């Protein structure tokens, strides 16, 4: 998670651990639902890249 920006970490943490709806996540973080979805998509892609790079 250290490779992610603070915003990306916040979105990933809320959506995947607390599991609120996208709209609830957006409201909690003060962003639009579309921003939550795109930020989450980019963050998960980055995490996948890092896992592949590290051989896990």
Q: What fold, for 6-54? A: Arc Repressor Mutant, subunit A (1.10.10)
- Report the pLDDT value the prediction gives residue 16, as an integer from 0 to 100: 84
- Tokens 């979105």, located at residue: 11
Per-residue pLDDT of 9-41, as tens digits, reads 999 999 988 899 999 999 999 999 999 999 999
Rounded Cα–Cα distance for residues 51 and 12 (Å): 16
Q: CA–CA distance from 14 to each of 7, 40, 52 (Å)?
A: 11, 10, 24
Asked if pLDDT for residue 42 goes beyond 80, the answer is yes
pLDDT of 5 strictly over 80: yes
The pTM of this model reads 0.85
- Alpha-carbon span 38 to 55, nearest angstrom: 26
Q: The tokens of 26 are what?
A: 């957006």
What does the block give as tokens for 37? 């979805």
């Amino acid at each position: 998670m250290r490779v992610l920006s603070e915003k990306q970490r916040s979105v990933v943490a809320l959506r995947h651990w607390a599991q609120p709806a996208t709209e609830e996540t957006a409201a909690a973080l003060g962003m639009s639902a579309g921003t939550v979805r795109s930020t989450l998509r980019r963050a998960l892609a980055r995490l996948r890249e890092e896992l592949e790079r590290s051989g896990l």
